[in-house]
Chain A
Amino acid sequence: GAVVSQHPSRVICKSGTSVKIECRSLDFQATTMFWYRQFPKKSLMLMATSNEGSKATYEQGVEKDKFLINHASLTLSTLTVTSAHPEDSSFYICSATTGQGRNTIYFGEGSWLTVV
């Protein structure tokens, strides 16, 4: 199947700093990418949907100024957690697809963010 690469897999940052997580589709062009947050032993919470070249659509309750999402090309989307706080520590997963409906959505391996 299609491959989605996510980097870094683990990152530790100091409280108040910003950290960027990259999501790349390696062998297909991802018109749409999604960012999820997963708490321990919980399901995935959709944070935002991004389409290449346009602004991301954020889910209710997700601060767009805190979680900056950029989808500048058909193979790359980035999530930047700005002014990180310990409560932002979580497992962040990106996913990518070539289109709507029947198209399979492929997931990255996830990124563990720890804010100290």
Chain B
Amino acid sequence: AQSVAQPEDQVNVAEGNPLTVKCTYSVSGNPYLFWYVQYPNRGLQFLLKYITGDNLVKGSYGFEAEFNKSQTSFHLKKPSALVSDSALYFCAVRDISASKIIFGSGTRLSIRP
């Protein structure tokens, strides 16, 4: 069975500092990994995905994520945080043959000015 874990409920970062939101996954085969962001009272917006190839994936709004197969991790990163990055972030995994996508519990990112 596939699963994904986000160990941090909340991450607090000062504006301008680098940020990391952690995600680890478990699938039986090769994973497809996704990051989504949710602003208050809104749906989810797609940020980036890892399918195959380069382990460093670049996405929207300056975010990137690094796929690490040995550590089964897909941490979300940004070199310099903005206050507007404050939101709820979800990591998700989809098995190569699966239809549905499984979400982590979410991490609330708070960027202070």
Contact = CB atoms under 8 A, between A and B. Distances in A.
Contact of A43 (B32, B99, B106): B106
A17 interface: no
Contact of A104 (B41, B46, B103, B106): B46
B113 interface: no
A106 B44 CA distance: 8
Interface string A88-116: 00010101000011101111111010000
Nearest to B50: A102
Contacts of A49: 99-100
A93 B101 CA distance: 14
B57 interface: no
Interface in A17-54: 32, 34, 42-44, 46, 49, 51
Contact of A109 (B43, B51, B100): B43
A34 B100 CA distance: 8
For chain A, the bracket of interface size reads: 20 to 34
A70 interface: no
A75 interface: no
22 contacts: A4-B43, A34-B100, A43-B90, A43-B103, A43-B104, A44-B44, A44-B90, A46-B100, A46-B102, A49-B100, A93-B44, A100-B94, A100-B97, A100-B98, A101-B32, A101-B94, A101-B98, A102-B96, A107-B36, A107-B44, A107-B45, A107-B46
Interface of A: 1, 4, 6, 32, 34, 42-44, 46, 49, 51, 91, 93, 95, 100-102, 104-110, 112
